[in-house]
Structure 1
Amino acid sequence: MSLKYALVHEWLTPQATGGSELVVQEVLQHIEADVYALIDFESTNPQSYLFGRSIGTTFLQSLPFARNGVQKYLPLLPIAIEQLDLRDYDVILSSSHAVAKGILSTPQQLHICYCHTPMRYAWDLTFDYLSSSRMGRGPQGLITRYLLHQLRQWDALSANRVDYFIANSVHTARRIWRCYRRQATVIYPPVNIERFPFQTQKEDFYLTVSRLVSYKRVSLIVQAFNQLGLPLVVIGTGPDLEAIRKLAQPNVQVLGFQPDSVVEQYMTRAKAFVYAACEDFGIALVEAQACGTPVIAYGAGGALETVRDIRQHPNSGTGLFFQSQSADALIEAVNTFERSKNSFSPEQGRLNAAGFAPKIFGDRYLAFLEQCQEGYKSQFSPENFKFPQAYSP
């Protein structure tokens, strides 16, 4: 008997085109599943892989300004995801960076969650969120803190609804353990490396591509290059765009949003790709390496799993790390790169990026799915049932 699958993601909009959406797209290449989300504005988008597809949504779909993102309705997200009725499915696959893992299920259903990150604004980025938003100040700040406290409680509780966790990096697996006390299997997300042209000849500019929000630390990069006087191109948009434009000196070009074709060309031609955020995975770092472009990155989070520091890997290095999120540390790393730039092999970057190709993801995801189905069927059969042993790292 064939199993019936549901795939649940947080939100599907033309603005949401990051690594989590690539996971959804790749999973649907291999598994025939009905798709659900808090909101969906992709099935009506002719440029989307979901165009024309029937997608189940929640009451958030009809709320004002939902198309621009449901984060403004943060307190309603847990309630909304719990309204999706998936009782007709045998297997639930959630792709979660906020609340998708909180879907309600029955004891007969298998729930596998690909966790891109535990909800950042409820955990790691709570104080960034409070300090950068007017909602974090004054009397309303007390209400915001209480709501985030409630959200953390729900988030930890809803982790118990997942049978098996997949993490997109070892860094994320550690965070899953820290927040939920749950073990996770690491399967790196797919990176479409064939989309990025490989080029050995580079031009005399540095590049960063990022959403312009505070935790990405793009302002730190601009401050460092203001002092260095070296050419930097900044691509991306977000609430910090105007502040970054005002901060930039003449040697820094802030291009704002650019289509994929333009991003690919800049990434191919850049002398090096610069990144200052602590990412759970960091797909842009792999994309840069696919172009043969070295990476200068903050040495924390997923970057430690995707970039090889040439000081530790002289023959296969693909980048350099700096050890603190400060302009001085980045300046030192750029100066080190300028002295050693001829030591980098573009071919090594492409070779390293190939380890994150979609086929590798697909093979590992399907193998893990099969393993979970067999384990779940065996463990919870009446004759074999016993409570799982507690995991300790």
Structure 2
Amino acid sequence: MNKNAGTKKIEKNNLINNDVFQISSNPPFSKRGIKIALVHDYLVQYGGAERVLDSFCELFPEASIYTIAYDKKSMHGHFEGKKIQTSFLQKIPFARSRHRMFPVLMPMAIEKFDFSNYDVVLSDSSSFAKGIITGQETLHICYMHTPMRFAWDDCQKYTEDFYFPKFIKKLIPFFMNYVRLWDRSSAERPDKIIANSKFISRRIKKYYKRDSIVINPPVNVNNFYVSKKQEDYFLLVGRLMVYKRFDIVIEAFKQLGLKLKIIGRGPDAERLKKMAHGYGNIEFLGRLSDKQLFDYYSRCQAFIFPQEEDFGITAIEAMASGRPLIAFRGGDIPEHMEEGKSGTFFDKQSSEAIVEAVEKFKNIHFDGEYIRNKVLKFDREIFKDKIKEFIENETSGFIEKQMRCFKE
């Protein structure tokens, strides 16, 4: 395969290395006899990682998906008609709804898959998918959302959301020793790693000693729009989970008395609602339709982002709606937000810091169109172009290397 044959040069902003790169006009992989598989940790909820997988499916429509567990109902029609291969955990009662209760079985589950009939495997992983075993004749490229957080970061912090029984919580540190050792060794298995942000690229280097290139995840920026009229509420959007720190936002707005609307559901909902009980300025809206969500984004005063995320998709969606952020200075957000131009930061995850940031926000004028233009680079089609070009180049080099080895 000659990667320079049949290509055309196009220029787009913020592409790999910020340079002009080549989009291949070669036929699809399947028509060139190149067989590709997709691997995903588990398909039990539809979020940012599943949006990435959706884009991969658009690029490689004939590829099968391998995943530890699959809950069709939770996918809301996504991946309908795809060939999905699941692990033995699929047959265990409650594995789909309580898959996190089986951390010691996950390595075995992911390693059982057979990829000997594939030329290329593209995994996207925040935990176990990167740990697949492939032969020397198969190229494995991993799109990494994050190194396994519950192994390398604060284990207690990230397992609070799982609501394990007390006796299991006591065993978690012992389980994690094994999982951490497996995670470190399995990180050597991908031939190439793509990180979803500079923040994650640094974490991959720290924990796995691996180099990676950065391709930010896709955001359907064209679904969002700038409204000329804003209302008097601030907005929180996301799964209601302990690590997202929505609790400190609620405490801040109890003090401020300003309107706060919270969109989303999750395991921390009951605790958060108890915190807000009796405060009429704080409203839980649950899960909304896309149309309703886009409307709430466009009309809020500002979007509150209190958590440290690998890639804050909801923050990018708010910016695509022309709305400024009030954000914790952590994770990937400092890569995308400009102080005073697209939002304002707070440096400590506390209600007091948020109150101070909101007061500071009130004295700044923000240009919605400027904010939106800053995130158009995350367009889904640009993401797909980058991924396609990277895989084309890596596959070409891999095949050439295989041919040289064969001749020798």
Question: Deviation of residue 125 (structure 1)?
Answer: 3.4
CA contact (8 A) 1:39 1:66 kept: yes
CA contact (8 A) 2:46 2:74 kept: no
Output the amino acid matched with 2:399.
K
CA contact (8 A) 2:101 2:164 kept: no
Determine whether 1:332 maps to 2:360. Answer: no
Alignment match, 2:382: 360
Question: Deviation of residue 112 (structure 1)?
Answer: 0.2
Paired residue secondary structure (2:69): strand
The change in CA–CA distance for 1:34 and 1:334 in structure 2 (over 3 A counts) is same
Q: Distance in 1 between matches of 2:337 and 2:163?
A: 37
The change in CA–CA distance for 1:243 and 1:45 in structure 2 (over 3 A counts) is closer
Provide structure 2 residue ranges, at least 5 long, that are not aligned to the other structure. 1-31
Alignment match, 1:105: 134
Determine whether 1:286 maps to 2:316. Answer: yes
Q: Distance in 1 between matches of 2:272 and 2:58?
A: 39
Provide structure 1 residue ranges, at least 5 long, that are not aligned to the other structure. 311-316, 387-393
Q: Distance in 2 between matches of 1:140 and 1:22?
A: 32
Alignment match, 1:251: 281
Question: Deviation of residue 53 (structure 1)?
Answer: 2.1
TM-score, with structure 1 as normaliser: 0.90
Alignment match, 2:29: none
CA contact (8 A) 2:261 2:283 kept: yes
CA contact (8 A) 1:36 1:57 kept: yes
Output the amino acid matched with 2:322.
G
Alignment match, 1:370: 392
The change in CA–CA distance for 1:75 and 1:344 in structure 2 (over 3 A counts) is same
Determine whether 1:154 maps to 2:176. Answer: no
Q: Distance in 2 between matches of 1:301 and 1:361?
A: 20
Alignment match, 2:16: none
| More deviation, 375-384/155-164 | 375-384
Note the alpha carbon deviations across 1:35-71, whole angstroms, 9 max, x for none.
Answer: 11112233x7894231122211111112212332411
Alignment match, 1:272: 302
Note the alpha carbon deviations across 1:353-381, whole angstroms, 9 max, x for none.
Answer: 21100111111111111221133234455
TM-score, with structure 2 as normaliser: 0.86
Q: Distance in 1 between matches of 2:243 and 2:156?
A: 11
Q: Among residues 315, 321, 325, which one is paired with 1:295 in the alignment?
A: 325
Alignment match, 2:10: none
Q: Distance in 1 between matches of 2:154 and 2:287?
A: 24
Q: Among residues 113, 120, 144, which one is paired with 1:91 in the alignment?
A: 120
Q: Distance in 2 between matches of 1:344 and 1:177?
A: 36
Alignment match, 1:163: 191
Question: Deviation of residue 131 (structure 1)?
Answer: 6.1
Alignment match, 2:85: 56
Q: Distance in 1 between matches of 2:304 and 2:243?
A: 15
Determine whether 1:232 maps to 2:260. Answer: yes
1:184-199 paired onto structure 2 within 5 Å: 184-199=212-227
CA contact (8 A) 2:52 2:218 kept: yes
Determine whether 1:181 maps to 2:209. Answer: yes
Question: Deviation of residue 385 (structure 1)?
Answer: 11
CA contact (8 A) 2:226 2:298 kept: yes
Alignment match, 1:313: none
CA contact (8 A) 1:93 1:114 kept: yes
CA contact (8 A) 2:137 2:402 kept: no
Question: Deviation of residue 87 (structure 1)?
Answer: 1.1
Output the amino acid matched with 1:259.
S
Q: Distance in 1 between matches of 2:112 and 2:127?
A: 16
Report 1 or 2 for greater relative contact order, CA contacts < 8 Å, sequence distance ≥ 6.
Answer: 2
Question: Deviation of residue 130 (structure 1)?
Answer: 5.6
Alignment match, 1:314: none
Paired residue secondary structure (1:75): coil
Alignment match, 2:66: 36
Output the amino acid matched with 1:345.
D
Paired residue secondary structure (2:104): helix
Paired residue secondary structure (1:376): helix
Alignment match, 1:66: 95
CA contact (8 A) 2:259 2:281 kept: yes
Q: CA RMSD in A?
A: 2.2
Question: Deviation of residue 86 (structure 1)?
Answer: 1.5
Output the amino acid matched with 1:246.
K
Alignment match, 1:19: 48
Alignment match, 2:26: none
Residue-pair matches, total = 374
Q: Among residues 23, 34, 57, which one is paired with 1:3 in the alignment?
A: 34
Paired residue secondary structure (2:363): helix
The change in CA–CA distance for 1:106 and 1:226 in structure 2 (over 3 A counts) is same
The change in CA–CA distance for 1:67 and 1:302 in structure 2 (over 3 A counts) is same
The change in CA–CA distance for 1:378 and 1:284 in structure 2 (over 3 A counts) is same
The change in CA–CA distance for 1:384 and 1:204 in structure 2 (over 3 A counts) is farther
Q: Distance in 1 between matches of 2:100 and 2:138?
A: 29
Question: Deviation of residue 142 (structure 1)?
Answer: 4.6
Give percent identity, aligned residues only. 38
Note the alpha carbon deviations across 1:220-254, whole angstroms, 9 max, x for none.
Answer: 11011111111101112122111111111221112
Q: Distance in 1 between matches of 2:206 and 2:165?
A: 25
